Amino acid sequence: MGRCDSLAAFTEEPGRITRPYGTPSLAAARDTVARWMRDAGMDVRVDAIGNLRGRIEGSDRPAPALLLGSHLDSVRDAGRYDGPLGILVAIEAVARLRARQQSLPFPIEVLAFADEEGLRFQTTYLGSCALAGAFDPAFLELTDGDDVTLREAMAGFGNPHALADAVLRPNEAFAYVEAHIEQGPYLESVDLPVGVVTGISGQSRILASFKGVAGHAGTVAMDLRRDPLPAAAEIVLSAENLARQTPGLLATVGTIDATPGASNVIAGQVRFSLDVRHPDDAVRNDAVRGLERQTREIAAARALGVEWRVAREHPAVHCDAPLTSRLAEAVSAAGLPVELLPSGAGHDAVVMSEAVPVAMLFVRCGEGVSHHPAESVTTNDVAVAIDVLDEFISALTDERRQ
């Protein structure tokens, strides 16, 4: 918990936690976590995209590794547990193995991913994409709000020329297990410290814009305006209505940017993001298609230009059944009932599932609050998560030794 507090000090925005990819604050947080990894007996390296990888060897050096971890980057004005908690719980579990001098039949690597939230480049999961072999070279040309490319941001923080080296080799790992705060209220409602994740909702991230004609707020008659802002208002409300009427569907317009941006100037352009999620990919795809159609109809009716770009799309992911059963057994072994729950939030496990079987452990979260500075977990619940992970690793150790 103290380490989570320390990491909160690494931010690009004084007074709140904002730690995007490739920034000095993320590099400094990474240095600190590297020190904690070394203290826990791990060899540490930074890969081409800037992920931190701490490793302890097993007795059988060439054996595939167990991967643990989560992400070190954050959203804007974040809480202190979304991401870092999973890394720190994993480091602690490794420290305990070492303190017991437990010999391991496989290596363990703790991963601190450099980008999961996609705050800076409006993507998601850049760190895990690099490991899972899902990094599209076209990502290198993505630009941030200051027109810095990902390629430029990566130089110095990682190495854009060595991305191929970051990819997991065949048989380099046999599983990825991530602990994470639940970011929802379910575990609190059933009064349990931890739960086992069954799967993760699919997600579409869209970047769209309406283009009209800027003008004088005091002189351009209402019927002569081509104002993109009311058009954006229409689609924001349509997305909300659609999601309210479709069970399980979540739709969020999280950013909206009207330019040139003055109270006495009719906007010339409005850019906005749209995040759409559902556990069933068919429902999500239908919703995205419907919202695109409406966006284009609204533009046509108001004589506006329109852009619609699907920035990222991730299908729903099922956690690996055998690995998830083992995690559930570890929860039982810790003397707790096993609560299975789905994840509405995205996680590095989504992309890692393309390379290795994945499982996830959720930790109870105060009032379900996340992506907010009031995000909270209790020391007791975090202790349970460490116990469960420790138990899980020990059981795998016994099993693989046989």
Binding site for ligand HGY (CB under 6 A): 116-117, 345-346
**Residue 55 vs 205, nearer CB to ligand HGY:** 205
Taking the complex as a whole, the smallest distance from the CB of residue 347 to ligand HGY amounts, in Å, to 7
Q: Compute the least distance from the CB of residue 344 to Mn ion, in Å.
A: 11
Closest by alpha carbon to 49, among 18, 25, 73, 85? 73
Which burial class, exposed, middle or buried, applies to 285 when counting CB atoms under 10 A from its CB (0-12, 13-18, 19+)?
Answer: middle
Judging by DSSP bridges, how do beta strands 340-343 and 194-200 pair with one another?
parallel
CA-nearest of 248, 267, 81, 65 to 169 is 65
State which residue, 183 or 269, has the beta carbon closest to ligand HGY: 183
Q: Omega before 373 cis (within 30°)? A: no
**3-state DSSP call for residue 43?**
strand
* Distance from C-alpha of 175 to C-alpha of 108, rounded to nearest angstrom: 10
Q: Rule CB under 5 A: say whether 69 interacts with Mn ion.
A: no
CA distance 177 to 66: 8
Cβ at position 114, least distance to ligand HGY in Å: 13
Backbone region of residue 177 per phi and psi (left: phi > 0; alpha: psi in -120 to 50; beta: other values) = beta
Strand-pair partners of 69: 111
By a kind-dependent CB cut-off of 5 to 8 A, residue 320 interacts, out of Mn ion, ligand HGY, none, with none
Question: Bridge partners of 361?
Answer: 179, 196
Residue 83 or 268 with smaller CB distance to Mn ion: 83
CB of 213 to Mn ion, least distance (A): 38
85 is in the binding site of which of ligand HGY, Mn ion, none (Cβ under 5 to 8 A by kind)? Answer: none
Q: Considering the complex, what minimum distance in angstroms separates the CB of residue 344 from ligand HGY?
A: 7
Q: Distance (Å, rounded) from C-alpha 117 to C-alpha 83?
A: 9
Closer residue to ligand HGY in complex, CB, 115/320:
115
Please choose which of Mn ion, ligand HGY, none residue 311 contacts, taking the beta carbon within 5 to 8 angstroms, the exact cut-off set by kind: none
**CA–CA distance, 213 with 402 (Å, rounded to integer):** 72
Question: Please, is 265 exposed, middle or buried when counting C-beta atoms within 10 Å of its C-beta (0-12, 13-18, 19+)?
Answer: middle
227 contacts which partner out of Mn ion, ligand HGY, none, CB within 5 to 8 A by kind? none
Identity of the amino acid at 249:
L
Give 117 or 178: the residue with its C-beta nearer to ligand HGY.
117
92 binds, among ligand HGY, Mn ion, none (CB under 5 to 8 A by kind): none
Closer to Mn ion by Cβ: residue 198 or 238: 198
| Six-digit token string for 232 | 């954006």
The smaller minimum CB distance to ligand HGY, of residues 187 and 345, is found at 345
Q: How far is the CB of 346 from ligand HGY (least distance, A)?
A: 3
Window 72-111: residues binding Mn ion (CB under 5 A)? 82-83
Mark 29-68 with x for binding to Mn ion (rule: CB under 5 A) and - for no binding: ----------------------------------------
346 interface partner picked from ligand HGY, Mn ion, none, CB below 5 to 8 A per type: ligand HGY
Looking only at residues 344 through 363 of this chain, which bind Mn ion when binding is defined by CB under 5 A? none
User: Structure tokens of 260?
Assistant: 């040139």
**Residue 83 near which of ligand HGY, Mn ion, none (CB within 5-8 Å, type-dependent):** Mn ion
Min separation Cβ 314 and ligand HGY, Å: 10
Choice between 127 and 212, CB closer to ligand HGY: 127
**Rounded to the nearest whole angstrom, what is the least distance from the CB of residue 372 to Mn ion in the complex?**
10
Torsion of Cα atoms, 219 then 225 then 228 then 232, to 10°: 100
Q: Which residue has the tokens 């995007």?
A: 20
Beta strands in 38-104 (DSSP E): 43-46, 52-56, 65-71
| Residue placing its CB nearer to ligand HGY in the complex, 116 or 178 | 116
Are the C-beta atoms of residues 40 and 54 closer than 8 Å to each other?
yes
CB of 276 to ligand HGY, least distance (A): 12
Interface with Mn ion by CB under 5 A: which residues?
Answer: 82-83
